Structure 1
Amino acid sequence: MKAMILAAGKGERMRPLTLTTPKPLVRAGGVPLIEYHLRALAAAGFNEIVINHAWLGQQIEDHLGDGSQFGLSIQYSPEGEPLETGGGIFRALPLLGDDAFLVVNGDIWTDYDFSVLHQPITGLAHLVLADNPAHHPNGDFSLDDGKVLDGQPNAQTLTYSGIAVLHPQLFDGCSDGAFKLAPLLRKAMAAGEVSGERLKGHWVDVGTHERLAEAETLIKASR
Structure 2
Amino acid sequence: MILAAGRGERMRPLTDHTPKPLLQVGGVPLIEYHIRRLVTAGIVELVINVSHLGEQIVAACGDGSRWGARISWSREARPLETAGGILRALPLLDTPAFLVVNADVWMDFDATALAARARALPPRCARLLFAANPAHHCGGDFALSGERVVPAGPDRPSVTFTGVGAYRRDFFDDAHPASRSGPLRPLFERAIADGRLHGERHDGAWMDVGTPERLAALREQVQAQAEPGGT
Where on the TM-score scale, by shorter chain, does this alignment land: which range? over 0.9
User: Displacement, 1:153?
Assistant: 4.0
Q: CA deviation at 1:200?
A: 2.8
Does 2:201 correspond to 1:198?
A: yes
Name the aligned partner's letter for residue 202 of structure 1: A
Which residue of structure 2 aligns with residue 209 of structure 1?
Answer: 212
Counterparts of 1:1-223 in structure 2, within 5 Å, are: 4-119=1-116, 120-123=119-122, 124-174=125-175, 175=177, 177-223=180-226
C-alpha distance in structure 2 between counterparts of 1:15 and 1:122, whole Å: 38
Local SS of the residue matching 1:218: helix
Alpha-carbon deviation of 1:7? 0.3
Q: Unaligned 5+ residue runs, structure 2?
A: 227-231
Amino acid at match of 1:80: A
CA separation in 1, counterparts of 2:121 and 2:48?
A: 25
Quick check: 46-55 or 97-106, which moved more? Answer: 97-106
Residues 165-208 of structure 1 deviation map (CA, whole Å, 9 limit, x = unaligned): 01111111334830211111111111111111111311010000
CA drift at 1:146: 1.1
Q: Which amino acid aligns with 2:108?
A: D
8 Å CA contact 2:115–2:166 kept in 1: the answer is: no
Q: Which runs of 5+ in 1 are unaligned?
A: none
**1:86, distance to aligned residue in structure 2 (A):** 0.4
- Shift in Å at residue 154 of structure 1? 2.1
TM-score, normalised to structure 1's length?
A: 0.94
What percent identity do the matched residue pairs reach? Answer: 50
TM-score normalised to structure 2 length? 0.91
Specify which structure has the higher proportion of helix.
2
Task: Supply the AA of the counterpart residue of 1:29.
Answer: G
Aligned residues: 220
Q: RMSD value over aligned CA atoms? A: 1.4
The separation in 2 between residues aligned to 1:218 and 1:37, in whole angstroms, is: 18
